[in-house]
Amino acid sequence: MNIKDLGFWFRDFWAEFKREGSGLVGLALLVIFVLITLFEAPLLPFKEANTRWRDITYWQDNPTNAAPVWTNLFTPKKAARTLNLNKGLKETITDTEGNSFVQESFTYRFTADKAPLDIIIHSTIKGSVPFTVLVERPDGTDIQLFQKYIESDVPTEVRFSLNNDSKNSLFAFLKLHETSENLSRVSSGSIRSTDILFNKAREGMADSFEALKGEYRFIVKAQVVNQEQFVMQDTRLVVTGSVSGILGTDNMKRDIFSGLIAGLKWALFIGLFTSAVSVLIGVFYGIISAYYGGIVDTIMQFIYQIFVSIPLLPVLIVVSAVFKPSIWFLIGVMVIFFWPGSVMTVRSMAFQIKEETYIEAARALGAGHRRIIFNHMAPLLIPYSFASMALSVPSAIVYESSVSLLGLGDASIVTWGQILHDAMMGNAILNGLWWWVIPPGLAIAIMGMTFAFLGFAMDRILHPKLRTR
């Protein structure tokens, strides 16, 4: 079978495949998956999700266990969503006394009914710098939130969190409006800063929240004492909302959507690689076993019998628990147990092909064993194995996620099974965090469905016996 034959064969195959509705759906889904893998970088909301999935400092600005943003559509009281403002308005000003300041201001349009959980400001600063954070509320009040004197010779990161660092100044603001009776019940330690800052200034604001909507201007101001040494850069503001991202966050503040995108390529790779390698091994094993027959066949069948009689998942679990394997090792173990799946069908088909006259002719012409197996038998049988290749992809993915679910996965990558393991450990079911449990499993199921659609469609075309009349 040469390239031209292959082209003809493929054209025939495609003509039939076009008529399989579910097969086309499967193909479309597969194309989508591949595209997502290729365009992973622009799709990832958190760019370093792949490498820093288990690094808590990377996720520290996110809310804990936040619901997806779109849940706002179904709630009467809209929650503030997580927002990243990476660039503010930077200006240099000089006051009347001749002091020069560098300030960067961020405008946050607050339209939700509930206050955000926190406002966080990051900045990288060098030199001897008196550093201030101010806010202008929509009603015209200015509040100084934070003041600190920073002294450092190297650029250091300063992190300001409204909740932790400005309780005193907001309590002072509260004092201006609240009655003394209400004030006696709260202290600067017990208030939630965001609930005061985004509240309408009035009596009773300590008790109830009434959103003051409008534009809040956060100003980060640094006094330039020594021009040569001064650096202030990478200033950014994060609004930590109580809803976050497309699929919410987990108990370690990780963005679940990023995890799903990062896990996709591994699911695809584990499934395709394991099934392709193991089915190819199985096909050649079956052909060789049938071609040589006799004692070779007996021995090879015995080895096959051993592998067939091993329950895969228990062995996989124990191997993972004992050897703490990397993902490559795990794929290797799966290949070792997956190849027998396609041996029997191929062997029985190879028994028929072996007796065909053209094989006899090839042998009469002096063709060697290898030539007959690789050039005359394998090309006929490999197309038939495509269906079983597609159909064994889902089980490879499910086995990997089962092992990961037990917490035995490769810790250097992100897979869907590991996200579900964290969900189990974080009591996601008990706490009703459905956005943490449903999406990863659904992704596994959809991936399985994709290959089931493809596999069953190919099966119907390649084994016409099963066709519906």
| Closer residue to another protein (CB): 370 or 469 | 469
Candidate list 1, 16, 17, 22; residue touching another protein; CB under 8 A:
22
Q: Is 299 in the site for another protein (CB under 8 A)?
A: no
Q: Is 330 in the site for another protein (CB under 8 A)?
A: no
**Helix, strand, or coil (residue 235):** strand
Q: Is 406 in the site for another protein (CB under 8 A)?
A: yes
Q: Is 448 in the site for another protein (CB under 8 A)?
A: yes
Candidate list 80, 197, 397, 419; residue touching another protein; CB under 8 A:
397
Q: Is 251 in the site for another protein (CB under 8 A)?
A: no
Candidate list 89, 172, 299, 313; residue touching another protein; CB under 8 A:
313
Choices 179-187, 214-222, 231-239, 452-460 (CB under 8 A): range interacting with another protein: 452-460
| Closer residue to another protein (CB): 43 or 452 | 452
| Closer residue to another protein (CB): 56 or 310 | 310
| Closer residue to another protein (CB): 127 or 248 | 248
**Can you spell out the DSSP letters for 318-339?**
HHHHHH---HHHHHHHHHHHHG
DSSP H helical segments within 78-166, as ranges?
162-165
Least separation in angstroms between residue 102's CB and another protein is 51
Using an 8 Å Cβ cutoff, are 106 and 85 in contact?
yes
Candidate list 243, 262, 405, 458; residue touching another protein; CB under 8 A:
405
| Closer residue to another protein (CB): 382 or 449 | 449
Residues 66 and 49: their CA atoms lie apart, in Å, by 18
Candidate list 51, 99, 179, 305; residue touching another protein; CB under 8 A:
305
Q: Is 34 in the site for another protein (CB under 8 A)?
A: no
Q: What is the DSSP letter of 22?
A: H
Choices 81-89, 197-205, 381-389, 430-438 (CB under 8 A): range interacting with another protein: 430-438
Choices 180-188, 222-230, 380-388, 427-435 (CB under 8 A): range interacting with another protein: 427-435
CA distances (Å), origin 304, targets 247, 289, 307: 45, 10, 5
**Helix, strand, or coil (residue 390):** helix
Choices 70-78, 208-216, 285-293, 442-450 (CB under 8 A): range interacting with another protein: 442-450
| Closer residue to another protein (CB): 167 or 347 | 347
Residues 308 and 159: their CA atoms lie apart, in Å, by 58
Q: Is 420 in the site for another protein (CB under 8 A)?
A: yes
| Closer residue to another protein (CB): 88 or 448 | 448
Least separation in angstroms between residue 356's CB and another protein is 21
Residues 427 and 175: their CA atoms lie apart, in Å, by 41
Q: Is 218 exposed, middle or buried (CB count within 10 Å of its CB: 0-12, 13-18, 19+)?
A: buried
**Can you spell out the DSSP letters for 335-382?**
HHHHGGGGHHHHHHHHHHHHTSHHHHHHHHTT--HHHIIIIIIHHHHH
Q: Interior CA angle at 40 toward 38 and 41, to 5°?
A: 120
Candidate list 314, 355, 366, 370; residue touching another protein; CB under 8 A:
314
Count CA within 13 A, CB hemisphere, residue 433. 26
Q: Is 289 in the site for another protein (CB under 8 A)?
A: no
Candidate list 311, 352, 370, 464; residue touching another protein; CB under 8 A:
311
Candidate list 33, 146, 285, 453; residue touching another protein; CB under 8 A:
453
Least separation in angstroms between residue 370's CB and another protein is 27
Residues 303 and 306: their CA atoms lie apart, in Å, by 5
Least separation in angstroms between residue 114's CB and another protein is 23
Using an 8 Å Cβ cutoff, are 282 and 340 in contact?
yes
Q: Render the burial of 341-372: b for 16+ CB within 10 Å, e for the rest.
A: bbbebbbebbbebbeeeebeebeeeeeeeeeb
**Helix, strand, or coil (residue 255):** strand
Q: Is 89 in the site for another protein (CB under 8 A)?
A: no
Q: Which residue has the tokens 């709630």?
A: 75
Least separation in angstroms between residue 21's CB and another protein is 9
**Helix, strand, or coil (residue 122):** strand
Choices 41-49, 146-154, 245-253, 416-424 (CB under 8 A): range interacting with another protein: 416-424
Residues 458 and 435: their CA atoms lie apart, in Å, by 34
Candidate list 6, 32, 296, 318; residue touching another protein; CB under 8 A:
318
Choices 98-106, 211-219, 224-232, 461-469 (CB under 8 A): range interacting with another protein: 461-469
Q: Is 263 in the site for another protein (CB under 8 A)?
A: no
**Helix, strand, or coil (residue 460):** helix
Q: How many CB atoms lie within 10 A of CB 53?
A: 23
Closest CA to 283 of 229, 219, 189, 348: 348
Q: Is 438 in the site for another protein (CB under 8 A)?
A: yes
Q: Is 40 exposed, middle or buried (CB count within 10 Å of its CB: 0-12, 13-18, 19+)?
A: middle
Residues that bind another protein (CB under 8 A): 22, 305-306, 309-315, 317-319, 321-322, 391, 393-395, 397-399, 401-402, 405-408, 420, 423-424, 429-430, 432, 434, 437-438, 441, 444-445, 447-449, 451-453, 456, 465-466, 468-469
